[in-house]
Chain A
Amino acid sequence: MQNAKDTFYITLRSRLATVNPARVMTLRSVSRPGILVADAEPPMPQPILDAFSLSWTGLEADLQLPAILVQMTCEIQYSTAGTVLNAGLDRGRTLEEMDYEILKLLYPYSAQKMNYAQNPAVAMDTMVFWSEPQFGPAVTLRDRLSRSVRVTVFAFQEQGEL
């Protein structure tokens, strides 16, 4: 399952670098595409603005298939306060930009499963695939607009895979 999670994250991160190279964040003194996996970063009191944060929540498995089909829920959260240049009055627009970026990051809805625990990464036999996004409502908290998107990620467990 970890290979599927890693593949999903790296796929979205690679696509983000193409879709919007300007969306970068600095985390632990490293500048990188503005997308992170929450459980792979230190706890944060507030979400990073203008970046996508992936959280793995639900998990189901269909054991009655020739290979186990796992179904994992990924919640992608993002927040924005708009730009300083516009005194935050453009936060609706910047949220809409991120909504559109999510659509572009998720399509195509599949990727070759990779084992990133090895260096260089090794292509596995099956594809990771996912549902279309379910957008939650925009939530306002003081000067911030946030949204959560739910995606269900599927992968077949391969022989010997952890």
Chain B
Amino acid sequence: MSTSTITPMPALPPVGRSVRAYFAPVDRVHHLPTLFDPSVNGRFSVSAPPAPWIALGWIENFVRKSASKFADLVTGSPGTAQFQVRQTVDATVAFRFKAWSKLSMALAAGSQHMNLIVPASGAAPNGSGSKGVPPVNLTAGSTATFLSLAASDAAGFSAGSLVTVDVDYAAQTGYVGSGVYAAYVTSAAAVNSDPDYVRRVTFNVARVTSVVTTGSAPGLTLAQPLLAGVPAATMRVQPISGFVDREGGSFFQEWSALFVIDGEQGERILFHYPRLQSMAGPAESATALASPLERIALDATFRALPVTDANDGEQVVCFRSFLPSPVALV
């Protein structure tokens, strides 16, 4: 039997290149965030996060701020601070998304994020998109990456197009959207009883890579799996051309977040915010490339909301984990 030994180095300052961001849905109805356990998944591959975390790539200008307030308890004469108390627990985090996508745009905008449904002929213009073309029904056999359609319906789509897939709005109130709660409906009247409303706000969107209109399995193959997984039979499909968000709105996106910095010596720093809500409206900033070209990034600022740590019942808003280098003293 042999054992290997190491010659430990002193604790070294972490040197990292950048920050990667991952987000996961919060069950708004049951107030259940997605919790990340660093003791279980701390060393996950950055390109393959554990489910249901969604990788949103590198971010920049990452700034965490503690806004917790402290007060002292003064006794005696002259008064002397004898104890400290936490008056408030508060924290914010800000950064820039380098890449634009449905999810990064929605997170940065903070409010309802809408899909631009391809408009019906003659529909009245509207800032967040007009009434859409009629949706088509799914048929049996759909998966998260394949939408089974009637051949005649599939023929209405083309490879490269974008689709939204979700149920009809049927006068329900509360959170709507499959997979991720995308909006909160206070009354059917508020959304004009629009049957397309859920598909207008849902995160269940994808790009079509190929269309099959013949044979025994016509339908659309998707480039990415639907966020809600295998679509329900009641879901319907509409083409979309892009996305729109607004300054204003009453809804707050809420997501669980995880930020990872990998150090050059094998260490890893993780920041886990179980509940983040946007605290700023949509904004962007530009980074000069070569005049006049600029790279446009999405600015995002969030407030961290509390969860209860099951280990000791404390209310906290963020967890910072450090997984040391394999050879460093701790």
Interface residues of A (CB under 8 A from B): 64-66, 71, 129, 131-132, 152, 154
A29-B222 Cα distance, complex, nearest whole Å: 51
Is B291 an interface residue when CB atoms closer than 8 A count as contact?
A: yes
B293 touches A64 (CB 8 A): no
Interface residues of B (CB under 8 A from A): 17-18, 57-58, 60, 98-99, 289-293
CB contacts (< 8 Å) of B99 on chain A: these are: 65-66
CB contacts (< 8 Å) of A66 on chain B: these are: 57, 99
A131 touches B292 (CB 8 A): yes
A48 to chain B, nearest CB (A): 28
A131-B288 Cα distance, complex, nearest whole Å: 11
CB contacts (< 8 Å) of A65 on chain B: these are: 57-58, 98-99
B98 touches A71 (CB 8 A): no
In the assembled complex, 28 residue pairs joining A and B whose CB atoms fall closer than 8 Å, in A order, are A64-B17, A64-B18, A64-B57, A64-B58, A64-B60, A64-B98, A65-B57, A65-B58, A65-B98, A65-B99, A66-B57, A66-B99, A71-B289, A71-B290, A129-B293, A131-B289, A131-B290, A131-B291, A131-B292, A131-B293, A132-B291, A132-B292, A152-B289, A152-B290, A152-B293, A154-B289, A154-B290, A154-B293
A105 to chain B, nearest CB (A): 17
Main secondary structure of the interface of A (DSSP, over half): loop
CB contacts (< 8 Å) of B58 on chain A: these are: 64-65
A65-B101 Cα distance, complex, nearest whole Å: 13
Chain A residue nearest to B293 in the complex (CB): A131
Chain B residue nearest to A125 in the complex (CB): B160
A65-B98 Cα distance, complex, nearest whole Å: 7
Given pairs A131-B290, A132-B292, A152-B293, 18 additional interface contacts (CB within 8 A): A64-B17, A64-B18, A64-B57, A64-B60, A64-B98, A65-B57, A65-B58, A65-B98, A65-B99, A66-B57, A66-B99, A129-B293, A131-B289, A131-B292, A152-B289, A152-B290, A154-B289, A154-B293
Which 5 residue pairs spanning A and B have beta carbons closest together?
A152-B290, A131-B290, A64-B58, A64-B18, A66-B99
CB contacts (< 8 Å) of A64 on chain B: these are: 17-18, 57-58, 60, 98
